[in-house]
Amino acid sequence: MAKKKAIKQSDLIDFYMDYILTHNHKPKSVYAFAKDNNFDEQKFYEFYGTFEALEQSIFKIFFDHTIAALEKSEDYHSFDARNKMLSFYYTFFEILTANRSYVVHVLDSNRNKMESLKVLKHLKKSFTNYVGQLGIETIDLKQEQLEKFQNRTLKESAWLQLLVTMKFWLDDTSASFEKTDIFIEKSLKSGFDLMDTTPIKSIIDFGKFLYKEKMHFN
């Protein structure tokens, strides 16, 4: 049988996910993987150096598909940061659910150390960049190093929240994962409430007022 000549990145991902779900383990080698799917081994290396790199790209592709779906929505572009994030979560978890068997296989055995999973490396980079572009209001600290620290903390907190939600989704046995939807809504509301800068700004303004008044009386 003639080997397939036109192999796309999406073909490799389909072949790989199908192999994982059929055999419940990774292919033994790129050579064996290529042979099983009737294409030349070198075609694999045109896109990936290792199976680990391919796995990392899958979660990045889930993210890319999420953003592509959101960008098509006129309503999404008019949303504030909170509702944009909520839309992201619902869409992202719809995509995870459509690929649940694969995602569970990859993440379930490592759920207690998800923070260090290399498979989520590219997802983390894309997601934290996305968070940084949402325009979430932060405190104007008027000091570059403090601003950088605040922005980095915001991104890391958002990433941790996504990981916690993914862990919850892995354990969710409710119909249509309704409990995950509730968890998303409540956790994001709490997260944004904690980030609400209005009370903090009020405290800072009050502190400035007291300081000025003290200086005036002195």
Domain ranges of the chain: 9-45, 51-217
pLDDT given at position 127: 97
Q: What is the 3-state secondary structure (H, E, C) of the chain?
A: CCCECCCCHHHHHHHHHHHHHHHCCCCCCHHHHHHHCCECHHHHHCCCCCHHHHHHHHHHHHHHHHHHHHHCCHHHHHCCHHHHHHHHHHHHHHHHHHCHHHHHHHHHHHHHHHHHCHHHHHHHHHHHHHHHCCCCCCCCCCCHHHHHHHHHHHHHHHHHHHHHHHHHHHHCCCHHHHHHHHHHHHHHHHHHHHHCHHHHHHHHHHHHHHHHHHHHHC
Band of pLDDT at residue 138, cut at 50, 70 and 90: low
CA dihedral 38, 40, 41, 42 (to 10 degrees): -150
Band of pLDDT at residue 143, cut at 50, 70 and 90: low
Mean pLDDT of 64-92: 96
Q: Is the pLDDT of residue 209 over 50?
A: no
Query: Which is more confidently placed, 6 or 137?
Result: 6
Q: Is the pLDDT of residue 195 over 60?
A: yes
12-60 per-position pLDDT tens digit:
999 999 999 999 999 999 999 999 999 999 999 999 999 999 999 999 9
Band of pLDDT at residue 197, cut at 50, 70 and 90: very low
pLDDT given at position 31: 96
- Quote the pTM value: 0.83
Hey, which CATH number is domain 51-217, 1.10.287, 1.10.357, 1.10.1330, 2.60.40? 1.10.357
110-124 per-position pLDDT tens digit:
655 655 578 999 999
pLDDT given at position 213: 45
Tell me how far apart the alpha carbons of residues 79 and 75 are, in angstroms, rounded to a whole number.
Answer: 7
Q: Is the pLDDT of residue 140 over 90?
A: no
Q: Is the pLDDT of residue 199 over 50?
A: no
Mean pLDDT of 66-90: 95
